[in-house]
A and B are shown apart, each in its own frame.
Chain A
Amino acid sequence: MGVDLTVDALRDLAEGAAVLGTGGGGDPYIGRLLVERQLREGRRVTIIPVDELPDDALVLPSAMMGAPTVFVERPPSGKGNVAALRALERHLGRTAAATMPIECGGLNSMMPLLLGAQLGLPVIDADGMGRAFPELQMETFAVYGVPGSPMSIASDHGDVAIIDALDNVRMERLARVMTVEMGGAAYICDYPMDAATVRRTAVPGTLTLGMRIGAALRTARERHDDPFDALTAALAGTIYSHGLVLFRGKVVDIDRRTVDGFARGQVTLAALDDPADQLVITFQNEHLVARSNGEVVAIVPDLICTLNADTGAPVTTEALAYGQRLTVYAISTPEIMRSPAALDCFGPAAFGLTDPYTPVERLAARARAGA
C-alpha cells in the first residue's frame, strides 16, 4: 500500500534531503514549493515501496539536471519534466508504472514527487545514489549493470531529445552539453528498468529516510533536545546505521574555485576551545573527504554533512561562510554503495583522491583506540 505524502512530511523530507545532499545537491526549497503547490491544489503524491510493483512493471527515474543557481532564477514550467517522461515512454513503446529519484540528496529528491503529482504516477521509495553525487553515471543502477540510456532530456519549453549513448559516462557528457543549450537546467528520465531490477540495484527506503531525518531535526528543535543525538537515534537500525559527530567548530577559511564547471574547494574549521585543532573538508559540489589534523576521518561515499551547530540545519557548500559555527556529522553509506564495483564508480579515486576508502565507523573506532 502506498502512502499519500502530506505537506508536513514533505517539509521534513526537504530538510532531510538537504542533509543527505552532503553540502551539494542544490537547496530543495524551490522543489518543495513546487510539490507543496500541487498538494494544495488537491493533487496527490503516492509513495510506494518497491516490492509493491510486479517484476516487469516499467520504472522511469526522473530528475533535474544542471545548475541549481539557474533553477532558482528560472523555476520550471511544469512541462519539461512531463515531456521528458512522455518522450522516453514513446521511445520505449511502453507506459511507466512509476517514477523514482535517481538522487535523494537535495533538490532531486523533490522532482519525481512533482512529476508524480502532475501525472498521478506513484513514486518509488528508493534511489540510485543514497545521497547526492555530481554526475549521472554515479548511480548504484550503473554499478549493478543497468545502462543509463536510452535517456530523455527536455527543456522548459518542452523540446525533447533521446540520448542513446555507448556508455554511462558518454551519456553524462552528452546530456551535460544539451543541458547548457537548454538554458542551464533541463529535465531528464534515465536508467529505464523494470521493478525487479530496481529491487536489485536501488538504495531502498531513502525518501522515508529523508523524512525521518527531517522529522528528527524538527522535533529536536521543538523539544530543545540536541539535534545531533536525535539524528544518531533516527539513523540507528536503518541501512545508514552509523551517524556520528566528527567535529564541532567554526569556519576559519574557505577556498572555493570553479574547475570544469564544478565548485571545488576546501573549508577549514577550528575547534572553539583550541584553534590549533582543525578539520579540513574537501568538496566538489558535495563534501568528499574530511581530515582532522591531517588524518582522514571520513571519505566518500560515506556522507559528510555540514550542519548548523545550534539547529542542525544543513549548510550547503555555496552557503558556507567565514565564522559560521558548524557541526560536521558523518553518516555511514549503505553496504550496497561500499562494494568494490561501487567504489570504482563513486569512491575516492573517482574524484581524484589518492586516499583509500575506509568505512567511517572503522575510522572512528581507530581514532578512539588511538586516543
Chain B
Amino acid sequence: MRVGIDVGGTHTDAVLMAGTTVLAEIKTATTLDVTGGVVTALERLLAASGVDRARVTAVMIGTTHFTNALVTGRRLARTAVVRLALPATAALPPMVDWPDRLTKAIDPSVHLCDGGHEFDGRPISPLDPDQLKRIAAGLGGQGINTVAISSVFSPVNAELEERAAEIFLAELPHLHVSLSHQIGRVGLLERENATVVNACLRDLADEIVDAFAEALRAVGIRAPLYLSQNDGTLMDAEYTRRYPVRTFASGPTNSMRGAAFLADLADCAVVDIGGTTTDVGVLSGGYPRQATGEVDIGGVRTNFRMPDVLSIGLGGGSRVTGAPMPEIGPDSVGYELTSQALVFGGQVLTATDLAVAAGLADIGDASLVRHLGKDLVRNGVAWMSGRVAELVDQMRVSARPLPVVVVGGGSVLMPDHLPGVPAVHRPEHHAVANAIGAATGQIGGDVDRLFAITAARTREDVLDQARAEAVERAIAAGADPDTVDVVDVDEVHVAYLPGNAVRVRVKAVGDLRLSDPATTEEVQV
C-alpha cells in the first residue's frame, strides 16, 4: 500500500492506496513545522482507513517548501558559484540577471576559472587545480559549505565539472557540490542559475528530508520515502537531498497525473480549480506536456523541465461583480470562503454562491442565495464554463477535441457540459488529486545534450546511445528495469554549423521498484 501526501501552502492532503484503489483520503491544515503537519496527516489517514501501518510499502510526498523558500528568499544557504570557462564568458559573470533581493539572500562567492569545452569537445582552456584549491581554502575560511559548479558545454562533456568536484571535496570533504550538467540543459546562464538555486537549497533539503523521515518514524511507518519531481516522476530521499530544485512545480504536475489516474485517461486536459485560481494543463501519454523555452522561478531564469500550465484567477472564492452580465474573479476571498460567502451567511457574492444557486453544488445554506436573479446565475455559470472551455481550447494541440477532467475543491463550479468539449469527467476523490498524483508517480531518466555526428558515429548511433543512457538513468534512480520505456525522443539540429551537431532529448520512465531491498535499506535513514 502507498501513501501519497501533498503539502501545499494552505492544505496538506493525504491518500492511502492499495494498487489502484483509494482506501482513505483526508485534508488537514498545513503547519509551520514540517514534521507536525505530516504526522497529523498520516495519523488521521491511518485512523480513517484502519489499516496496519506495517503494510505501508512507500510514502510519496509532493511539497512546495523549496519553491516557497526561493520565492520568499528565506532559509537560503550562502553559496559559492564556480564557473569553468575562461577566457570565454567573462563578459557575463554568474548571477548577472538575478533579482537583487535574492542575490543578497544568497550572498554568493563568485569565481570565474579556467576550463570549459567547445561545442565539439575541444577544451577552451585546461583546468587549473591550484586555482580551485585556492578558492576552496577561501570558502573554508568563510564557512561556506555549498558550491554550484558549471562548465561550458558540460552537457556534452561533464569531465571538468566532475574533476573540479573531486578537487573541492579533497580539500573540503563536507562540501555540498551541485554540478550543472546534472541539473539543466544547454544554455549556460539558465543551467547555472538552476544549479545555484539547487546549491542554496541543499541545507534546507537536509532539514526537510530529515523532518519527513522523522514524521514517518514518529507514526511508526517503516517504508521508503519518495518526493515528487516537476515532471511527474519520483525521486528517493537521498536524491532529494542532492537535487531539491527538482521539486519545483511538482504541485500542478501531481494534480494533472492524479486526475488522469482517477479518470483512467492518458490523453486529456486537466482543469484544477481551487479557491483562488484555476490551472489547466494537458496530459499526453499520461505525462504533463512540458513548457518550451525558459521558465522563471522566483525571478530567476532557468531552463529545466516544467509542466505547461495556463492559470486564471477563477476559483470557489472568486468575487462576482456586475449584473445581469457578471464578471467573476480574479479577486477572491480565498480561505475565508466559509465565513464570507453568502451560503455561509457572509456578505460577499462568490462563485460558489452562483454554483449553489444554479443547483450545481450543495454547499452551505442554499436558501441564502434563493434571492439571486435567474439571469445573473445563468450568465455567471455560463461565463465561468466559457472561460474554462476557452483555456482548454488554448491548450489543445490538434484539431481532435480533448476530454476534460475537472478536479480540486472548486470543481463544483463547472457544469456537466463545457462548450466544445466531448466529455467532462469529475472523478471520485477529485479533491485530493494532488496526493493521488504523488502516490502514483513513476521513476524517470533524462538525457538532453549536444552530440556530434561523424562518419564513425551516425545519427542512429547517437540516438541509440541517448536512449540507452536515459534508460540507465531511470534504473539508477530506482525504476524497475523490466518496466522502463523510452517515452519521448526529440532532436534539434544546430543551425550555422556544418550539419554535424544535434541536440537530443530523451526521456525514459518506469514503475517504481518497491521490492528491491537495497532501495529500502538506503532510505531507512
Contacts and interface: CB of A to CB of B under 8 A. Distances in A.
Contact of B91 (A68, A72, A76): A76
Nearest to A316: B293
B383 interface: no
B521 to A, nearest CB: 40
Interface stretch (B159-167, B223-231, B423-431, B495-503): B495-503
B372 interface: no
B187 A72 contact: yes
B188 A72 contact: yes
Interface in A131-186: 134, 156-158, 176, 179-180, 183-184
Contacts of B89: 74-77
Contacts of A263: 493, 495
A71 to B, nearest CB: 10
B497 A76 contact: no
Contact of A77 (B91, B120, B496): B91
Contacts of A180: 497-498
A321 B498 CA distance: 24
Interface stretch (B362-370, B395-403, B469-477): B395-403
B495 A285 contact: yes
A323 B502 CA distance: 24
Interface string B317-359: 0000000000000000000000000000000000000000000
Given A37-B92, A183-B88, 5 more contacts: A67-B497, A74-B188, A78-B91, A252-B398, A323-B398
Contacts of A33: 92, 96-97, 189
Interface stretch (A254-262, A339-347, A359-367): A254-262
A73 B188 contact: yes
B96 A258 contact: no
Interface majority SS on B: helix, strand, loop or mixed?
Answer: loop
B175 interface: no
**Closest CB pairs A-B (n = 9):** A258-B493, A78-B91, A323-B397, A67-B496, A263-B495, A183-B118, A75-B92, A156-B88, A77-B87
Contacts of B497: 66-67, 70, 180, 184, 261
A321 B97 CA distance: 26
Interface in B185-225: 186-189
Given A261-B496, A263-B493, A73 B153 contact: yes
Interface of B: 85-92, 96-97, 116, 118-120, 122, 124, 152-153, 186-189, 292-293, 394-399, 450, 492-499, 501-503
Contacts of B119: 67, 69-70, 73-74, 183-184
Nearest to B156: A73
A70 B452 CA distance: 13
Interface string A101-136: 000000000000010000000000000000000100
Interface string A248-290: 0000100011111111000000100001000000000100000
Nearest to A253: B398
A67 B91 contact: no
Nearest to A322: B397
Contacts, number: 131
Contacts of A252: 398-399
A258 B152 CA distance: 24
Contact of A34 (B91, B187, B499): B91
A322 B308 CA distance: 12
A279 B153 CA distance: 38
Given A74-B188, A183-B119, A184-B119, A319 B293 contact: yes
- Which of A70, A134, A261 has the largest count of B CB atoms less than 10 A from its CB? A70
Interface string A53-95: 0000000000000111110111111110000000000000000
Contacts of B97: 33
7 contacts: A30-B92, A33-B92, A67-B496, A67-B501, A69-B119, A184-B118, A256-B492
Contact of B189 (A75, A183, A184, A270): A75
A30 B287 CA distance: 32
Most buried by B among A68, A74, A262, A321: A74
Nearest to B500: A261
B128 to A, nearest CB: 16
Nearest to B120: A184
A261 B495 contact: yes
Contact of A73 (B152, B395, B398, B499): B152
Contacts of B501: 67, 184
Contacts of B397: 322-323
Contact of B499 (A75, A176, A261): A261
B503 A69 contact: yes
A218 interface: no
A73 B501 CA distance: 14
A325 interface: yes
A67 B88 contact: no
Interface string A197-236: 0000000000000000000000000000000000000000
B234 to A, nearest CB: 27
A166 B502 CA distance: 33
A260 B499 CA distance: 6
Contacts of A260: 498-499
Contacts of B86: 77
A259 B497 CA distance: 10
Given A33-B97, A74-B116, A252-B398, A67 B494 contact: yes
Contacts of B188: 72-75
B495 A258 contact: yes
Contacts of A70: 119, 494, 497
A183 B122 CA distance: 9
A158 B91 contact: no
A318 interface: yes
A158 B189 CA distance: 22
Contact of B399 (A68, A75, A157, A275): A275
Given A180-B497, A318-B492, A323-B397, A76 B120 contact: no
Contacts of A322: 397-398
A77 B399 contact: no
A315 to B, nearest CB: 9
Indicate the member of B397, B398, B495 with the most A CB atoms within 10 Å: B495
A327 to B, nearest CB: 14
A70 B503 CA distance: 12
Contacts of A68: 495-496
Nearest to B399: A275
A180 B118 CA distance: 10
